[in-house]
């Protein structure tokens, strides 16, 4: 995993954990999400990136972190499938000039895997084991669409669930060039296939 990917994953995880990059207005809406009961058919993720970067197919993941009392934390990643219709981005702010928005949902196979994970957690609860489940969103794999130097690379990540009913910003206007580790990792991103 290259440096850029590690930092992006960390940034997304920190954002959902309540770090300062989460807009304050989003925190109450995000706090209503219950990973154990949310309707997976309504789960959507949107990533807004400068046009110089594009997510690779399979590069946007939903990470579910589970923890049972007395056991180590476990993370399971689920593939998100890009949705290409304009209606799939309804309710999202228009991307700034020079940016594009990509919207995703769970793949059918991974929705079934998530349901199985939730059922296992519920069963553990019935057996008296206390546990928790949390969601994280990460754009993990990119390609470079343009090698031209950029003054800034603002990123935004949005999440929609059955509890929020619309897209909620999880990370907004995070400039990847403001972080030295991210800026250094940009050189290692491969060009997009023409």
Which pLDDT belongs to residue 9?
40
Which pLDDT belongs to residue 112?
93
Rounded average pLDDT over 47-64: 85
pLDDT-derived band at 187 (thresholds 50, 70, 90) equals confident
Rounded average pLDDT over 55-84: 87
Q: pLDDT by residue (tens digit) across 112-151?
A: 999 999 898 888 888 888 888 887 777 777 788 876 667 7
User: Do 121 and 131 form a contact (C-beta atoms < 8 A)?
Assistant: yes
Q: What percentage of residues in the chain have a pLDDT greater than 70?
A: 86
Measured distance CA(7)–CA(140) in Å, rounded: 10
Asked if the model's pLDDT at residue 5 lies above 50, the reply is no
Asked, for residue 169, whether it belongs to a domain, the answer is: yes
Q: What is the full DSSP assignment across 151-171?
A: S--EEEEEEE-TTT-S-EEEE
Opening angle at CA 61, ends 57 and 31, nearest 5: 145
Measured distance CA(71)–CA(165) in Å, rounded: 33
Which pLDDT belongs to residue 194?
64
Asked, for residue 128, whether it belongs to a domain, the answer is: yes
Asked, for residue 70, whether it belongs to a domain, the answer is: yes
Residue 62: which domain range? 3-86+96-186
Question: How far is C-alpha 64 from the geometric centre of its chain's CA atoms?
Answer: 11
User: Do 38 and 117 form a contact (C-beta atoms < 8 A)?
Assistant: no
> What letter would DSSP give residue 188?
G
Tokens of 129: 């084991």
Q: Considering its fold, how many domains does the chain have in total?
A: 1
Measured distance CA(99)–CA(24) in Å, rounded: 24
Asked, for residue 91, whether it belongs to a domain, the answer is: no
Asked, for residue 194, whether it belongs to a domain, the answer is: no
Rounded average pLDDT over 53-82: 87
Mean of all residue pLDDT scores within the chain: 80
Q: What percentage of residues in the chain have a pLDDT greater than 90?
A: 16
* Residue 72 CB coordination number (10 Å): 6
Which pLDDT belongs to residue 81?
92
Asked if the model's pLDDT at residue 111 lies above 80, the reply is yes
Rounded average pLDDT over 99-117: 91
Q: Model's pTM, two decimal places?
A: 0.78
Asked, for residue 191, whether it belongs to a domain, the answer is: no
Asked, for residue 103, whether it belongs to a domain, the answer is: yes
Asked if the model's pLDDT at residue 177 lies above 60, the reply is yes
Which pLDDT belongs to residue 14?
38
Can you tell me whether residue 147 is helix, strand or coil? Answer: coil
Q: pLDDT by residue (tens digit) across 157-167?
A: 898 999 999 99
Asked, for residue 28, whether it belongs to a domain, the answer is: yes
Nearest-10 Cα torsion for 112, 117, 121, 124 = 100
Which pLDDT belongs to residue 149?
63
User: Do 99 and 51 form a contact (C-beta atoms < 8 A)?
Assistant: yes
Asked if the model's pLDDT at residue 16 lies above 80, the reply is no
């Amino acid at each position: 995993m290259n440096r850029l990917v590690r930092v992006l994953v960390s940034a997304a995880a920190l954002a959902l954990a309540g770090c300062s990059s989460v807009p304050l207005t989003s925190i109450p809406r995000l706090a209503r999400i219950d990973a154990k009961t949310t309707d997976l058919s309504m789960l959507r993720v949107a990533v807004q990136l400068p046009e110089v970067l594009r997510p690779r197919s399979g590069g946007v993941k939903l990470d579910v972190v589970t923890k049972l009392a007395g056991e180590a934390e476990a993370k399971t990643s689920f593939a998100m499938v890009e949705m290409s219709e304009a209606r799939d981005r309804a309710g999202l702010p228009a991307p700034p000039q020079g940016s594009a928005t990509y919207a995703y949902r769970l793949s059918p196979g991974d929705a079934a895997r998530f349901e199985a994970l939730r059922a296992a957690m519920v069963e553990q609860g019935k057996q008296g084991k206390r546990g928790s489940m949390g969601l994280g969103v990460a754009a993990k794999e990119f390609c470079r669409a343009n090698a031209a130097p950029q003054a800034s690379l603002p990123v935004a990540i949005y999440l929609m669930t059955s509890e929020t009913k619309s897209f909620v910003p999880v990370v907004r206007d995070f400039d990847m060039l403001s972080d030295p580790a991210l800026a250094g990792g940009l050189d290692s991103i491969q060009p997009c296939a023409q």
